[in-house]
Structure 1
Amino acid sequence: MSADRLSVYEAIRLRRDVRAEFTGAPVDEDTLWRILDAAHRAPSVGNSQPWDFVVVRDPVTLRRFADHVAGKRVEFRDALPPERAATFEPIKIEGIVESGTGIVVGYDHDRGGPQVLGRATVPETGVYSAVLAIQNLWLAATAEGVGVGWVSFYDPEFLAELVGLPTGIRPIAWLCVGPVREFQTVPDLERFGWRTGRPLSEAVHRETFGETGFNAEPSTTNARVVPPPRT
């Protein structure tokens, strides 16, 4: 392991949903494979590994998906109240073309057979497993100085047809993946005034919901800040 790699805590703090910071250079094949390997090592219910990863780099496909997403963005904006539409307007929601690489994460509910250990009473654990793979991918990418942007303004049927997903495999995410100039220190939705985060102390409960028992959050002021390694 390279000494200049980020710790997992540093990668978690540095990770951002990247939109406008892609350099335009493609992520190299070795780095891409390491990132996908990290995703494939995610935990999964019943060891079913219900994910598939479609790597998209064809400029025509990237542009087709970007145009589709742009249309969905307009639909969302037009459905907002005027004041929220004004806040939303400057927010960039994707970096599909700029990143140069898309990774479509698919979910196969039938992977692992009809008796998936641990999924009998909570069927959603299969989707949760695919999302854990995305989180692994995202943190590994951050440690490599590679940005990831999760695009969710699309019709699933359009995306499935665009990348040729077989019947039964559901698209979970389009991830824009590529080297970045920087990682923003403040998430875009906070910077543009859409929504701020809430403190950890409001999210942690003791024994029953609503009982916090915490007076202060752990300090993160001494965390080492490391610039993303260049690829």
Structure 2
Amino acid sequence: MTGPVSAQELYEVIRRRRDVRAEFTGEPVDEATLLRILDAAHRAPSVGNSQPWDFIVVRDPATLRTFADHVASKRVEFHDSLPPDRAATFDPIKIEGITESGTGIVVTYRHDRGGPQVLGRATVPETGVYSAVLAIQNLWLAATAEGIGVGWVSFYDPEFLTDLVDLPEHLQLVAWLCVGPVHEFQEVPDLERFGWRTGRPLAEAIHRETFGAQDAPPARSSAYPRSPGS
């Protein structure tokens, strides 16, 4: 370890994180880097220290192609459900990099891991799934720090993916993540660049004491000129 990471370096990694689609180089992430990223995910906080996640690493080209073809069919279905103006905006947006990344990580959740009494989950059972999502965030930030892109794919039928990776019934799908080296991280999130949706200002999300009391809009910082997004 070379020394502690500064707050500025950490914030910069958070700022640079993107949902990557088109920027994968086509080279696979090397095993040592992959294991460091998965180790970061495994160190995420979890309710009752239950660590309810599992990570299925998928690299077989035939499996990647099969999943990519399925996702492409779901993209067509979504496109066809849109009104013409939104369909035209959606047309150039790439929704996955399954084959280009060369590595898929399927993140799952197991509700009974940690025993029948998971400390902290009794009244809010969703905290188990929240824990798995925290593992994804750890993975994503660690990958960004390594110069590795991550793309979360959500255009699929869960039953299809369950069969594809042979999930047992006691595991719940949480995510398919495309993971691989990238040429660059886009400064502006894809959905903003292509006009689908822009992020909202932080002030709109901050409330004081009650939901109705919001902060005044802050002055825009030159260091962080863009709103957050994918």
TM-score, scaled to structure 2: 0.92
Aligned twin of 1:209: 211
Contact 2:20 2:97 in 1 (8 A): yes
Deviation at 1:165, TM superposition (A): 1.1
Match of 2:47 among 45, 48, 62: 45
Q: What count of residue pairs does the alignment treat as equivalent?
A: 222
Deviation at 1:210, TM superposition (A): 2.1
**1:192-216 C-alpha deviation (Å, 9 max, x unpaired):** 0000000101110111112124451
SS in 2 for 1:54: strand
SS in 1 for 2:12: helix
Cα 1:2–1:161, aligned 2, differ >3 Å: closer, same or farther? farther
Cα 1:222–1:2, aligned 2, differ >3 Å: closer, same or farther? farther
The aligned runs of 1:16-27 (5 Å cut-off) are: 16-27=18-29
Q: Which residue identity lines up with residue 187 of structure 2 in the other structure?
A: T
What is the percent sequence identity of the aligned residues?
78
**1:116-151 C-alpha deviation (Å, 9 max, x unpaired):** 111111111010000000000000000000000000
Q: Distance in 2 between matches of 1:39 and 1:132?
A: 8
Aligned twin of 1:145: 147
Q: Which residue identity lines up with residue 166 of structure 2 in the other structure?
A: G
Match of 1:109 among 108, 111, 127: 111
Q: Distance in 2 between matches of 1:213 and 1:86?
A: 36
Q: Which residue identity lines up with residue 181 of structure 2 in the other structure?
A: P
Match of 1:78 among 80, 92, 98: 80
Aligned twin of 2:170: 168
The aligned runs of 1:1-231 (5 Å cut-off) are: 1-2=1-2, 7-216=9-218, 219=221, 221=223
Q: Distance in 2 between matches of 1:213 and 1:101?
A: 42
Where do 5+ consecutive residues of structure 2 fail to align? Answer: 226-230
SS in 2 for 1:194: coil
**1:166-191 C-alpha deviation (Å, 9 max, x unpaired):** 11101110000000000000000000
SS in 2 for 1:7: helix
CA RMSD, Structure 1 to Structure 2 (Å): 1.7
Contact 1:8 1:139 in 2 (8 A): no
Where do 5+ consecutive residues of structure 1 fail to align? Answer: 224-231
Cα 1:186–1:2, aligned 2, differ >3 Å: closer, same or farther? farther
